[in-house]
């Protein structure tokens, strides 16, 4: 999940800090905004139209007694504070946003889940307050229980979003724990709208199926298909299409919104990165864009012999992504960058550049050579096994299913049957 996180008073309790740490470990992308700035960000900041968020989480777990500073008396004094009431007021502000206030995929900000975690002093009146707002008010709890509840609420919300997609002309398919969408023949002029979706703000340009929701079984299927592609020698093009169809994989690995084949630079012509990554809150405080160049998983990455290092293929890819980074600062490319990203990076030289290529080193000597050469580069060289591991780790977190067991090459995994069933549903 992508989470916009705020805290009443902008003060993080130890419990809130533990939540942030645990959620990020579990590959949820969490970005913070000062409590007082959330409404202005959503209502007036153009960055909010480039964001991609699944829930707004507000911590109202601070004590009711605060100690503000008085300049007149030059001392601190005690006063009452009402964090839950402030959080509820923010929730109402979000609910009152205009219908046209939407994210980069057209989902309306006013309709996404708004979750409030409150302290024990406020928990007594939860049932009464819950009935007075659309927000979900929950007592502060263990970080894992908290994120599980947020996920449950987001899942319920996503079901409604999918129903809304159908109403405006999208095709929706469900298979093996995944929900996928693609534009239908009836989707014209980008004018569809419902309670959750506002088509004129949708920046997506995909023409194929894209996964927009997956459960544990869907995650498991992604892992199995990913492993199969790597072990059967998939090409660079096949891997690119796989990432386009399942964007959550790169989003969770690179902690940003993956934008395929953009920007298409004007100078030099016909030059385009494989993937660019934008912050999940858009260019609100961070206007950097990260770039990723893909090469095939079967490419060799280390040379043999005495003076070991990265192969010519790796160095060529590194030079390629460096050039893309330099193109971001060329004035003649501003129009193309704006068209693709929606903003111009402030300091292109600070962009994180990376190359995705090959498999992870298989022995200690290879790992030492890799680490040494990586330390000499400002460009990050990433293997497909590293990306795959971010997905496998999430299966390991699922205690109900126990340790992850690979089903690829066993009777439990049959990609032909999966493809056949998928095609039947789409006819």
Distance CA 351, CA 287 (A): 9
308-317 residue pLDDT tens: 999 999 999 9
The CA-atom distances, in angstroms, between 244 and each of 128, 217, 240, 271, 337 are: 45, 19, 6, 19, 20
Contact of 107 with 193, CB cutoff 8 Å: no
In tens, the pLDDT along 79-129 reads 446 788 899 999 999 999 999 999 999 999 999 999 999 876 555 555 555
Q: Specify whether 147 is located in the same domain as 73.
A: yes
- Which pLDDT value is given to residue 175? 87
Q: Which two tokens stand for residue 195?
A: 């309670």
Residues 146, 225 within the same domain? no
Query: Which helix H or strand E contains 293, and what residues bound it?
Result: strand 290-294
Strand, helix or coil at 321?
A: helix
DSSP 123: G
Tell me the C-alpha distance between 50 and 46, whole Å: 7
Measured distance between the N- and C-terminal CA atoms of the chain, rounded to whole angstroms: 31
Q: Round to whole Å and give the CA distance between 412 and 246.
A: 22
The region of weakest confidence among 28-37, 104-113, 186-195 is: 186-195
| Two tokens, residue 392 | 């496998």
Enumerate the β-bridge partners of residue 70.
75
Residues 151 and 219 in one domain: no
CA distance 110 to 90: 11
- pLDDT given for residue 404 in this prediction: 46
For 290, the 3-state DSSP assignment is strand
The answer to whether the beta carbons of residues 10 and 36 sit under 8 Å apart is: yes
Q: Which tens digits make up the pLDDT trace of 128-161?
A: 555 557 899 998 889 999 999 999 999 999 999 9
Clarify whether residues 133 and 264 are in a common domain: no
In-domain check, residue 204: no
Can you give the pLDDT at residue 12?
A: 87
Distance of CA 349 to the CA centre of its chain: 23
Buried b / exposed e over 202-236, threshold 16 CB at 10 Å, is bbeeeeebbbbbbeeebbbbbbbbbbebbeeebeb
Could you tell me if 152 and 221 lie in one domain?
Answer: no
Percent of the chain scoring above 70 in pLDDT:
83
326 Cβ contact partners less than 8 Å away, ≥ 6 residues apart: 348
Q: Do 220 and 117 share a structural domain?
A: no
d(CA 138, CA 427) in angstroms, rounded, equals: 43
Is residue 54 within 8 Å of residue 154, measured between CB atoms?
Answer: yes
Asked if residue 140 and residue 219 are part of one domain, the reply reads no
Is residue 46 in some structural domain? yes
The CATH number given to whatever domain includes residue 53 is 3.40.50.2300
In eight-state DSSP terms, residue 322 is H
Cβ–Cβ < 8 Å for 292, 273: yes
pLDDT at 347: 65
Task: State the Cα–Cα distance between residues 109 and 31, nearest whole angstrom.
Answer: 16
DSSP state letters, 212-274: EEE-HHHHHHHHHHHHHHHHTT--HHHHHHHHHH-THHHHHHHTSEEEET---BSSSTTB--S
391 shares a domain with 305: yes
* Same domain membership, residue 260 and residue 140: no
Quick check: is 248 in a domain? yes
Last residue of some domain: 138, 156, 174?
A: 156
Q: Are strands 75-76 and 69-70 parallel, antiparallel or unpaired?
A: antiparallel
For residue 65, name the pLDDT band (cuts at 50, 70, 90).
Answer: very low
Q: Is residue 389 part of a domain?
A: yes
Is 281 within the bounds of a domain? yes
Reference 258, options 271, 274, 272, 269; nearest CA is 274
pLDDT digits (tens, 9 = 90+) for 250-274: 999 999 999 999 999 999 998 999 9
**For residue 393, pLDDT beyond 60:** yes
Residues 126 and 265 in one domain: no
- Indicate if 136 and 234 belong to the same structural domain: no
DSSP H helical ranges for 33-132? 38-44, 83-95, 126-130
Q: What's the pLDDT tens digit per position in 355-391?
A: 999 999 989 999 999 999 999 999 999 999 999 999 9
| Residue where one domain finishes, among candidates 108, 131, 156 | 156
Q: What is the pTM of this model?
A: 0.85
Residues 310 and 386 in one domain: yes
- 409 located within any domain: no
216-231 and 415-426 helices cross at what angle (nearest 10)? 120
**Nearest 5 degrees, angle CA 225-CA 244-CA 396?**
45
Is residue 350 included in any domain, yes or no? yes
Judge whether 3 and 28 are in contact, CB under 8 Å: yes
Whether 421 shows a pLDDT value over 90: the answer reads no
- Exposed/middle/buried for 121, CB within 10 Å: 0-12, 13-18, 19+? middle
Q: Among residues 139, 156, 173, which one ends one of the domains? A: 156
Q: Taking all residues of the chain, what is their mean pLDDT, rounded to a whole number?
A: 86
**Domain CATH number, residue 285:** 3.40.91
* Domain annotation covers residue 325: yes
Residue 410 has pLDDT above 90, yes or no: no
Number of domains in the chain: 2
Residue 151's domain comprises 2-156
């Amino acid at each position: 999940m992508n989470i916009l996180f705020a805290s009443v008073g902008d003060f993080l309790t130890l419990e809130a800090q533990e939540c942030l740490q645990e959620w990020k470990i579990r590959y949820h992308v969490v970005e913070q905004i000062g409590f007082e700035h959330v409404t202005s960000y959503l209502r007036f900041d153009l960055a909010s139209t480039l964001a991609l968020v699944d829930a707004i989480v507000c911590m109202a777990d601070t004590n009711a007694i605060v100690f503000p500073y008085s300049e007149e008396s030059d001392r601190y004094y005690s006063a009452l504070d009402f964090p839950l009431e402030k959080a509820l007021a923010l929730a109402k502000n979000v609910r009152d946003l205009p219908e046209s206030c939407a994210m980069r995929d057209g989902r309306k900000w006013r309709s996404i889940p708004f979750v409030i975690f409150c302290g024990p002093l406020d928990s007594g009146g939860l049932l009464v307050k819950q009935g007075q707002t659309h927000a979900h008010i929950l007592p502060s709890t263990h970080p894992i229980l908290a994120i599980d509840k947020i996920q449950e609420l987001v899942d319920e919300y996503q079901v409604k979003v999918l129903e809304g997609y159908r109403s405006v002309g999208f095709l929706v398919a469900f298979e093996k724990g995944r929900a996928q969408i693609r534009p239908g023949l009836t989707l014209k002029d980008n004018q569809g709208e419902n309670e959750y979706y506002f088509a004129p703000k949708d920046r997506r340009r995909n023409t194929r199926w894209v996964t927009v929701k997956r459960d544990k079984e869907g995650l498991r299927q992604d892992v199995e298909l990913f492993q199969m592609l790597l072990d059967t020698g998939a090409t660079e093009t096949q891997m690119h299409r796989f990432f386009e169809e399942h964007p959550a994989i790169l989003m969770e690995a690179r902690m940003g919104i993956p934008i395929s084949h953009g920007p298409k630079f004007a100078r030099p012509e016909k030059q385009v990165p494989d993937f660019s990554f934008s912050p999940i809150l858009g260019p609100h405080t961070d206007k950097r864009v990260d770039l990723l160049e893909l090469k095939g998983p079967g490419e060799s990455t280390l040379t043999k012999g005495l003076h070991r290092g990265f192969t010519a293929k790796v160095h060529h890819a590194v030079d390629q992504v460096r050039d893309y980074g330099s193109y971001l600062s060329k004035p003649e490319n501003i129009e193309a960058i704006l068209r693709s990203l929606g903003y111009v990076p402030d300091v292109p030289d600070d962009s994180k550049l990376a190359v995705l290529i090959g498999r992870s080193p298989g022995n200690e000597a290879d790992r030492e050579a890799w680490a040494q050469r990586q330390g000499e580069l400002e460009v990050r060289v990433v293997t497909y096994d590293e990306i795959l591991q971010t997905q496998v780790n999430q299966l390991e977190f699922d205690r109900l299913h126990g340790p992850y067991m690979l089903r690829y090459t066993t009777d439990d995994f049959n990609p032909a049957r999966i493809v056949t069933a998928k095609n039947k549903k789409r006819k």
